[in-house]
């Protein structure tokens, strides 16, 4: 029985990786087909002033100035590009289902939550990323993030199945606790959302650079996929909302870890390397939220802080698991 499910899990995760790569390719085609496409007509009323209550520090863009910048509309091209976008999303959803089967089967094979090794953290964490993305596509229509998300998840899941793979093993006694469920599930969901937030911040940076260039040079043609994404301001808003969801959850995960540590080892906080980096991540994201409310830091600077936050999160997962010592080192390979 263990064997069967382990087998199912492995096959499902290989397939999911493959499907995500296909989804990514579909999005690549979506982008490349949009290379010659002009920016869609501005539907929103042009903003009169740059400073808005929402995204102060993010500059709204006036419509293209010249005929050259307003390239002829190409509805067919737009439709073709869009079709590949939709294919990419469908494949992502399919990948998600197969991926979920892989994670659940792994849990059944091990007869416990699949959170006992780095391999298992990676497959669960990447699942959380895709779940977060698909929910947000439904909610805020963020399909424009498809290329970055599928690219990221293909890489993570690919590394997991190829490099990190470990056969089903037992949980070390330290993990025999329902706190594992509370602590790791909240951390994984927060991590998934941080990842989506980071990718949205990347796109925000790209898009806002584009807008800044267009502002400096209103006559340059505005073509390419990036011009088909929402305005930087709207991307920034999505990024903020995702982070605003992830941060309290991460706070909860860290605090739950502290309570577990008190319960299992008799101290809330021991500053072992994993705890240090969880703390650093928390502080950097708190700085991100602050940055958004601090003059001179809104917009691009804040987005860089968000990326820094995600970098510290990844380092905790990769760097500390591989090289770390301390009480958490069982979470390694």
Q: Supply the minimum distance, in Å, between the C-beta of residue 272 and other proteins.
A: 6
Residue 177 in tokens: 């606790």
| Spatial contact of 207 and 232, defined as CB atoms under 8 Å apart | yes
Nearer to other proteins, 96 or 242 (CB): 242
Nearer to other proteins, 86 or 166 (CB): 166
Q: What is the CA radius of gyration of the chain?
A: 22
Q: Supply the minimum distance, in Å, between the C-beta of residue 236 and other proteins.
A: 8
Nearer to ligand HEM, 286 or 307 (CB): 286
Q: Which does 111 bind (CB under 5 to 8 A by kind): other proteins, ligand HEM, none?
A: none
Alpha-carbon dihedral 143, 127, 190, 164, rounded to 10 degrees:
-130
What distance lies between CA 197 and its chain's CA centroid? Answer: 5
Inter-CA distances, 142 with 85, 247, 296, 298, Å = 11, 20, 28, 22
Q: Which residues, 121 to 180, sit near other proteins by CB under 8 A?
A: 139, 166-170, 172-174, 176-177, 179
Work out which of 62, 290, 311, 322 binds other proteins, going by CB under 8 A: 290
- HEC per residue, 29-98: HHHHHCCCCECCCCCCCCCCCCCCCCCCCCCCCCCCCCCCCCCCCCHHHHHHHHHHHHHHHHHHHHHHHH
Q: Which residues, 182 to 241, sit near other proteins by CB under 8 A?
A: 237, 240-241
Nearer to other proteins, 27 or 292 (CB): 292
Work out which of 71, 78, 164, 276 binds other proteins, going by CB under 8 A: 276
| Spatial contact of 39 and 223, defined as CB atoms under 8 Å apart | yes
Q: Pattern of binders to ligand HEM over 284-323, x per CB under 6 A?
A: --x--xx--x------------------------------
User: Which residues are at the interface with ligand HEM (CB under 6 A)?
Assistant: 286, 289-290, 293
């Amino acid at each position: 029985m263990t064997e069967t499910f382990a087998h199912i899990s492995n096959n499902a995760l290989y397939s999911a990786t493959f499907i995500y790569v296909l989804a990514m390719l579909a999005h690549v085609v979506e982008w490349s087909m949009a290379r010659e496409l002009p920016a869609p007509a501005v539907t929103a009323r042009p903003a009169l002033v740059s400073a808005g209550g929402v995204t102060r520090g993010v500059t709204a863009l006036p419509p293209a100035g010249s005929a050259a910048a307003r390239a002829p509309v190409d509805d067919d091209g737009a439709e073709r590009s869009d079709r590949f976008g939709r294919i990419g999303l469908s494949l992502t959803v399919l990948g998600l289902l197969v991926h979920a089967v892989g994670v659940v089967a792994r849990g059944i094979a091990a007869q416990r939550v699949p959170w006992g090794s780095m391999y298992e953290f990676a497959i669960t964490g990447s699942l959380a990323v895709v779940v977060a993305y698909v929910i947000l596509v439904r909610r805020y229509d963020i399909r424009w993030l498809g290329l970055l998300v599928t690219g990221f998840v293909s890489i993570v899941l690919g590394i997991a199945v190829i490099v990190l793979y470990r056969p089903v093993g037992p949980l070390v006694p330290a993990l025999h606790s329902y706190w594992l469920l509370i602590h790791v599930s909240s951390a994984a969901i927060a991590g998934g959302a941080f990842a989506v937030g980071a990718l949205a911040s990347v796109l925000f940076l790209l898009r806002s650079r584009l807008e800044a260039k267009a502002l400096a040079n209103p006559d340059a043609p505005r073509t390419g996929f990036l011009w088909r994404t929402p305005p930087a301001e709207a991307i920034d808003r999505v990024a903020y909302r995702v982070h605003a969801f992830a941060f309290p959850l991460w706070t909860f995960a860290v605090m739950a870890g502290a309570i577990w540590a008190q319960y299992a080892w008799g101290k809330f906080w021991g500053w072992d390397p994993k705890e240090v980096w969880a703390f650093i991540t928390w502080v950097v994201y708190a700085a991100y939220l602050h940055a958004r409310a601090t003059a001179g830091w809104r917009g691009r600077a804040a987005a860089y802080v968000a990326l820094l936050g995600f970098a510290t999160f990844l380092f905790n997962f990769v760097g500390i698991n591989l090289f770390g010592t301390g009480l958490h080192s069982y979470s390694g390979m």
